[in-house]
Structure 1
Amino acid sequence: MKRFVRSTLAVLTVIGACAGAHADTVRIAVEGAYPPFNYVDSSNQLHGFDVDIANALCSKMKSDCKLVAQDWDGMIPGLMAKKYDAIVSSMVVTKEREEKISFTNRYYRTRLAISVPQNSKLTNTNPQSFKGLVVGAQSSTTQGNYAQDVLAAAGATVKLYPAQDDANLDLAAGRLDAVVNDKFPNLDWLAKGGKGCCKLLGEVTGKDDDVAIAVRKNDNGLRERLNKAIADIIADGTYQRITSQYFKSSIY
């Protein structure tokens, strides 16, 4: 009888260990300055598409989510310094970033777009059209890289900002001739803060990029768990339910 009790307890211990194996805490960095993907409300709480996706993924992994607000320029350094375990903050996959960190499968796709003042005489997004103009973009981003590598090479003066909101405010105030941003945050700002002052000039052809979750190079276990969770929320309809709260069509 004692032998049976010991055996039963041993089995229960193993089962308990397995059940709790993934009941961990995953620290996730979010910028909080990129609506509608991530933003901070009046109570200093993080919200947005990225936040909802992060919470859904943690639920699938049976992990506790701890969201950490982090300025964009410190995102990758903070990950590498182990301040958090993953970045769910609309980060585009690039070869330069992949030299330092790893990415999961994508959780959406984005395209660059350019906004201008309502009275702008620009008619297209051809780089040559920006010669002699002042263009703003957020630093350390794909839009910032495009502005520097392409528009500056075509003769534009490029101003980089620590946050996208700063560039948008300068556009609205007439201190910029154009702003480069991802399409969806661009449209969100034009419908809200930029309404009346500015308009969408157009999308940048050929600049479609995958957005994924960043993890440290050696965190393959977490990356695979996140990949499975991404596939699971797409399969069970959770992803579509979250998407429909923010966008009129699929962004996957």
Structure 2
Amino acid sequence: MLRSKSVTLLRLAAFGCLAYLACGGAQAASAAPKAGTVRIAVEGAFPPFNYLDSANQLQGFDVDVAKALCQAAELTCEFVIQEWTGMIPNLLSGQYDAIVSSMSMSAERRAKVAFTRKYYDSPSVFIVRKGSAVTGTSADDLKDLKLGVTSATSQQAYTKQFYGSVSTTVFPASPDLYKGLADETVDIILEDKLAVYDWLANTKAGSCCEFKGGDIKNAEYFGDGAGIAVRPTDDALLAKFNAALDAIQANDTYDTINAKYFPFSIR
């Protein structure tokens, strides 16, 4: 799935109502929001967390969580589809107000934006084709192989630091990364475990491949889980999101969303 360079707005109905409405056409990122509207950025190319369905509507775990948070906080919200590399710069420039897009809370990102507490956690993991001759996942094990990662991700930063001697191909989006592994463009990839789980478990293409090695956790690069990012000065919005997150995890809302996408808890 391609990452659009333009930014499309999908309007979320005021949360006095429960209906989700999509606008008829695309709007520019700089279009002025309605007074009191909170604009939430998602990538739209990271299934099962956020993606566009066959009707070009946003779906996924992040999207459902964002809707639930806006309802609990009594906020009027709208979604902005934003390519990944522009996520933080465009938040800081005011093109939207929050990011709910599986963003790990790395030290580098915490220096630029403010995060809520985590709304889910996931390690990173290596994936290879079934029957692969890959015997291990150290830099020495991979020295003669081709490694794949997705651009501007924590996984890319991690491999730059610890796998700098390994030939690495950087793909623009996760679907391209998975295709690169399946069609043997690369021999092994490093990806968020929950993100790639859907591809491995629920798609024909993903049946080619499997996890290799154990879970990788490194707070410096992958943070302490995924959080909702806001501008450092938006203390009031940050507090509302944290309170809303407490509310949906205290009742069955969060667990219902979790069960829709995963057969295990990702808290």
Q: TM-score, normalised by structure 2?
A: 0.81
Q: Is the 8 Å Cα contact of residues 73 and 162 (structure 1) preserved in structure 2?
A: no
Tell me, in whole angstroms, the C-alpha distance in 1 between the residues paired with 2:249 and 2:137.
34
Q: 2:150: which partner in 1?
A: 138
Q: Could you say if the C-alpha distance between residues 66 and 106 of structure 1 is closer, same or farther in structure 2, counting changes exceeding 3 Å?
A: same
How far, CA to CA, are the matches of 1:236 and 1:204 in structure 2?
30
Contact 1:117 1:197 in 2 (8 A): yes
Structure 2 gaps, min length 5: 1-15, 17-34
Q: For the residues of structure 2 that align with 1:126 and 1:170, how far apart are their CA atoms?
A: 21
Which residue identity does 1:223 align to in structure 2?
A: L
* Partner of residue 177, structure 2: 167
Query: Which position in structure 1 is the counterpart of 2:200?
Result: 190
- 1:116-135 correspondence runs (5 A): 116-135=128-147
More helix by share: 1
Report the Cα offset of residue 190 of structure 1.
Answer: 1.4
Choose from 115, 119, 131 the match for 1:103.
115
**Counterpart position of 1:115:** 127
Deviation at 1:180, TM superposition (A): 0.7
Divergent runs of 4+, >4 A: none
In the other structure, the counterpart of 1:70 is 82
State whether residues 134 and 176 of structure 1, in contact with CA within 8 Å, keep that contact through their aligned partners in structure 2: yes
Corresponding residue for residue 99 of structure 2:
87
Out of 196, 201, 214, the residue aligned to residue 212 of structure 2 is 201
Measured against aligned partners, the alpha-carbon deviations of 1:45-74 in whole angstroms (never above 9, x if no partner) come to: 110000000000000111122011110001
Amino acid in structure 2 at the alignment position of 1:72: W
What is the distance in 1 between the residues matched to 2:48 and 2:213?
Answer: 19
- 2:242 equivalent in structure 1: 227
- Structure number having the greater strand percentage: 1
Q: Which moved more, 1:52-61 or 1:190-199?
A: 190-199
Using the size of structure 1 for normalisation, the TM-score is 0.86
Measure how far apart 1:193 and its partner are: 5.0
Amino acid across the alignment from 1:237: D
Quote the residue 2:45 is aligned against.
Answer: 33
Distance between the aligned counterparts of 2:204 and 2:161, measured in 1? Answer: 28
Percent identity over paired residues: 42
- Partner residue, 1:43: 55
Which one has the largest radius of gyration? 1
Range with greater deviation from structure 2 (52-61 or 110-119): 110-119
Determine if contact 1:134/1:156 at 8 Å carries over to the other structure: yes
Unaligned 5+ segments in structure 1 are: 1-18
- The alignment covers a number of residue pairs equal to 229
Which of residues 234, 238, 247 is equivalent to 2:253?
238
